[in-house]
Amino acid sequence: MATVSDVMVRTGRRGELGLLGLAVAVAVLARGLVDYHADFLELDELAIYAAAWAAVAGAIHLAIRRWASYADPVLVPAVLALNGIGLAMIRRIDFAYASRGRETDFGQVQIIWTLLGIGLALGVLLLVRDYRLLRRFTYTAGLVGLIGLLLPLMPVIGTQINGARIWINVFGKSLQPGEFAKIAFVVFFAGYLVSNRDTLALAGPKILGMRFPRPRDMGPLALVWVAAMLVQIYERDLGTSLLLFGIFVAMLYVATERLSWVVLGLGMFGVGAVLAGTLFSHVGSRYTAWLHALDSAVYSSGASEQLVRGLFGMASGGLFGTGLGEGRPDLVPYAESDFIVASLGEELGLTGLMAILTLYVIIVQRAMRTAIGVRHGFGKLLAAGLGFAIALQVFIVVGGVTRVIPLTGLTTPFLAYGGSSMLANWIIVGLLLRISDQARRPEAVTP
Amino acid sequence: MSQLSITLLRMGFLVLLWTLVLSAIAVLRADLYGTRITARGRGRESRREHDARAEKTASPSRAATGIRTGSISTKDPSAGHLAVTSGPLKGTTIPLGTAPVLVGRASTCTLVIDDDYCSARHCRIYLEGDRWMVEDLGSTNGTYLGNQKVTDPVPFREGDVIRIGATALELRG
């Protein structure tokens, strides 16, 4: 009789060690090139930096061996490489600003955020020994997410920076609670959908060969849609609303296998986006800057200046880039955060940018593979949701910078300057490591 | 540093980046974890797993084909296998060696069918010379080869279908 059995799984820890070595080499060489072109290269300092990177990578490796020995071997090296490239690029932009008389220390701050983020990821591994534990906090997570989204609107702690009210002030540091709300919402959606997917998938009338859900089952979708639209209206944050809604629709599709949800979701977002574009001037001006970016009237009014400068930067990079430290990425406003993709495109060229995007593809693919491998429905949805969170965020940022979609202010995961994003994305990595560890662990080893 | 070495370093960085990407993909290639389907002789223990799978595949869209072929590893691929094409065990395949296959409701049978219309020891499929034969073991509700009720041992050729209650068995090459 044919039976289904698990293959002896390779833990892949040795492969991970080799990849970590390569990732450290990428990070150190990037910084070396940046320092050399800024006439700042001191080999002693570079050696210390290299040793620190090796120590951090080694610590992560040992922690994974100890606490999640079957975790995915490719995830951490890919993330560390992206992080290293980001650190070098931010430092390079610091130098560029300094040569124009603007003193910034984004690079140093970002190193601290990176270390904190890695610490958080290891903390997640240590604290969450079984991801199924998170299912108990389904509705708590939903509430936490909602509060996180609403915090910036509070009078005292909420602050408005560059027209978007998405920051809060804590201990003199500004944080974006929306980044963390994203994770809480993924936990909530996963827990909610794993309990309710059958009613969402099976009941309802059939129109044009697609089974549409019953109106009363539409409640959660409508609720999240309204929440996303409110965020867009009150906080002027197009990116987060698009991200949240995208994650929800993707997870609904994963949970129910019904294309009708995707059609409905895209339709609702389309209606919402058009309405917002006609009703609110700040959204409308984004659309204009996107569609008519190269019109001289739009450009000289300043609406599309950043976008167009980024495009020219990437164009001057060409196929192989100007080389790290040899371009002028600082000519683009916010070259270290929103437009770090354009900066990288200029200095590493299409070849380098494609490598970076492939690293993201690998990370997302690992999340999806974990979702396929894990046995528990909640874990499947959680892993898929976290994967979609990273994928959509990269799409929204890179799409905005390359003028595929309207520009919105989201951070590029692991690359861009920004503490909240760094911490939140490392938490996602910690969760994915935990789920993949449980997905790949052979049945017999599980207690 | 000379202009040449700077250019080399610049290109070297891109090469290093792609080395990382490609070796990550190589690690993934070597890391195809998951499940393997193997042959096993006993019926009872594995039955539960198959019941679960049969329920999952019971959607009408799969009814046309139903069987997963190609994912079976037998020791001798030329020996063929027995596929369950309908009934509660739908989707199960049994690789055929030289040993006879006993079908019935009793736990001692090779293929255990949980069906009220199936007798404890229902029928036997065995190798005679180089062809397979099917023999009814005095079942209450009978074994059917095509439309013909099986009484004496009859040849069971590739592509033939045996019906036992709601279960259909097909011999495949």
In a domain, A319, yes or no: yes
Please indicate whether, in this complex, the C-beta atoms of A22 and B23 are within 8 angstroms of each other.
Answer: yes
Neighbour count for residue B103 (Cβ, 10 Å): 29
Q: How long is chain B?
A: 173
Q: In the predicted model, is pLDDT for residue B47 greater than 60?
A: no
Residue B71 pLDDT > 50, yes or no? no
Contacts of B46 in chain A (CB under 8 A): 1, 3
Chain A residues with CB-CB distance to B42 below 8 A: 1
Tokens of A53: 């990177």
At CA B39, angle to CA B37 and CA B42, rounded to 5?
Answer: 125
Residue A109 corresponds to which tokens in the numbers above? Answer: 């701050």
Pairing of strands B111-112, B101-104: parallel
Q: Which among A1, A326, A373 has the least Cβ separation from residue B40? A: A1
Q: State which residue of chain B sits closest to A323, comparing Cα positions.
A: B10
Hey, are the CB atoms on A3 and B110 less than 8 Å from each other? no
pLDDT at B51: 45
What pLDDT score was predicted for residue A183?
93
Please state the ipTM of this predicted complex.
Answer: 0.86
With an 8 Å Cβ cutoff, is A195 touching chain B? no
* C-alpha–C-alpha distance, residues A411 and A68, integer Å: 29
A26 touches chain B (CB under 8 A): yes
* Residue A336: Cβ-neighbour burial (10 angstroms; 0-12, 13-18, 19+): buried
Cβ contact, residue pair B37, A349, below 8 Å: no
Interface contact B127, partner A, CB < 8 A: no
The torsion angle over the Cα atoms of residues B124, B126, B128 and B134, rounded to 10 degrees, is 40
* Model confidence at A123: pLDDT above 80: yes
Looking at A150-164, B113-127, B145-159, which range is the least confident one? A150-164
Least confidently predicted of A189-193, A439-443, B71-75: B71-75
Specify the range with the lowest mean pLDDT, choosing from A21-25, A149-153, A314-318, B56-60: B56-60
Query: Is residue A5 in a domain?
Result: no
Least Cα separation, residue B30 to chain A (angstroms):
9
Nearest by CB to A2, from B21, B28, B37: name it. B37
Average pLDDT, stretch A249-267? 85
Q: For residue A271, name the pLDDT band (cuts at 50, 70, 90).
A: confident
> For residue B159, what pLDDT is reported?
83
Identify which of B16, B42, B53 has the shortest CB distance to residue A25: B16
Residues 252-311 of A with CB under 8 A from B: none
pLDDT of A136 higher than 50: yes
Tell me what pLDDT residue B55 has: 42
CA-nearest residue to A358 within chain B is B21
Q: State chain A's maximal CA–CA distance in angstroms.
A: 76
CB of A181 closer than 8 Å to CB of A144 = yes
Distance from CA of A397 to the nearest CA of B (A): 21
Task: Please give the share of chain A, as a percent, with pLDDT higher than 90.
Answer: 42
Tell me whether B60 touches chain A (CB under 8 Å).
no
Which of B18 and A10 is assigned the larger pLDDT? Answer: B18
How confident is the model at residue A444, as a pLDDT?
56
Residue A8 placed within a domain? no
Q: Which has more confidence, B128 or A129?
A: A129
Q: Which residue has the higher pLDDT, A306 or A257?
A: A306
Is B13 in contact with A33 (CB distance < 8 Å)?
yes
Mind listing the pLDDT tens digit for each residue in A48-67? Answer: 999 999 999 999 999 999 99
> In which order are the strands placed within the sheet that holds A158-161?
A158-161, A164-170, A173-175
CA pair distance A123, A431, nearest whole angstrom: 10
For residue B69 the two structure tokens come to 């072929």
**What span, in angstroms and rounded, lies between the C-alpha atoms of A338 and A335?**
7
- Which tokens in the block code for residue A159? 């602050």
Rounded Cα distance, A109 and B171, in Å = 69
Sequence length of chain A is: 447
Instruction: Name the closest residue on chain A to residue B48, using Cα atoms.
Output: A3
- Among residues A220, A235, A234, the alpha carbon closest in space to that of A410 is found at A235
Q: Does A29 touch chain B (CB under 8 A)?
A: yes
Residue from B7, B21, B37 whose CB has the most chain A CBs within 10 Å, to mutate: B21
Give the pLDDT confidence score for residue B54 in this predicted structure: 42
With an 8 Å Cβ cutoff, is B30 touching chain A? yes
Per-residue pLDDT, A119: 95
Is A96 an interface residue toward B (CB < 8 Å)? no
Q: What is the pLDDT of residue B27?
A: 84
Q: What is the pLDDT of residue A445?
A: 46
Question: Quick one: pLDDT band at residue A104, thresholds 50, 70, 90?
Answer: confident
- pLDDT over threshold 90, residue A28: yes
> Is the model more confident about A79 or about A224?
A79
Helix ranges (H only) for A129-280 are 138-150, 177-202, 219-234, 238-256, 259-279
- Interval B111-120 mean pLDDT: 83
Contact A398, A416 (CB under 8 A): no
Measured between alpha carbons, how far is A354 from A161 in angstroms, rounded to an integer?
Answer: 32
In a domain, A6, yes or no: no
Banded model confidence at residue B116, pLDDT cuts 50, 70, 90: confident
Report residue B46's pLDDT band, with 50, 70 and 90 as the boundaries.
Answer: very low
| Segment 314-373 of chain A within 8 Å of chain B by CB | 320-321, 323-324, 326, 348-349, 351-352, 355-356, 358-359, 362, 365-366, 373
The domain tally of chain A equals 1
Contact call for A1 and B72, based on CB within 8 A: no
**Nearest Cα residue in chain B from A28:** B13
Q: Over 70: is that where the pLDDT of B145 sits?
A: yes
Q: Is B79 on the interface with A (CB under 8 A)?
A: no
Q: How far apart are CA B97 and CA B76, in angstroms?
A: 7
pLDDT classification of A34: cutoffs 50, 70, 90? very high
Whether B13 and A1 lie within 8 Å, measured CB to CB: no
Report CA-CA distances (Å) from A264 to A194, A216, A255: 20, 15, 15
> pLDDT category, A241, cuts 50, 70, 90?
confident
Give me the phi and psi of B106, to 5 degrees please.
-70, 150
pLDDT value of residue A363? 96
Helix (H, G, I), strand (E, B) or coil at A320: coil
Domain boundaries, position A150 = 13-445
Task: Identify whether A3 is part of a domain.
Answer: no
What stretch of H or E contains A6? strand A2-6
Nearest Cα neighbor of A201 from A257, A141, A147, A161 is A257
End-to-end Cα spacing for chain A: 28
Candidate from B12, B18, B95 with C-beta closest to A2 = B95
Confirm whether A390 is domain-assigned. yes
**Closest by Cα among A70, A63, A86 to A15:** A70
Residue B118: band (very low, low, confident or very high) from pLDDT cuts 50, 70, 90: confident
Could you tell me if residue A100 is inside a domain? yes
Identify whether A1 is part of a domain. no
Sign of CA dihedral B52, A252, A420, A361: positive
CB-closest option in A1, A359, A440 to B94: A1
Chain A residue numbers touching B43 (CB-CB < 8 A)? 1
**pLDDT score for A407:** 87
CB nearest to B36's CB, from A5, A320, A355 = A5
Mean pLDDT, chain A, rounded, equals 86
Q: Given this model, what pLDDT does residue A9 score?
A: 59
Pick the more confident residue, A351 or A223.
A351
Mean pLDDT calculated for residue range A151-159: 75
A-chain residues near B10 (CB < 8 A): 33, 320-321, 323-324, 326
- Contact residues, chain A, for B12 at CB < 8 Å: 29
Output the pLDDT for position A212: 67
Of A173 and A419, the one with more pLDDT: A419
Cβ of A331: how many Cβ atoms within 10 Å?
Answer: 16
What pLDDT digit, counting tens, does each position of A363-377 carry? 999 999 899 888 888
State how far the alpha carbon of A413 is from the alpha carbons of A84, A164, A206, in Å: 12, 19, 40
- Mean of the pLDDT values across residues A400-428? 90
Mutation site, A1, A85, A438, interface B, largest B CB count within 10 A? A1
Q: How many CB pairs under 8 A join A and B?
A: 129
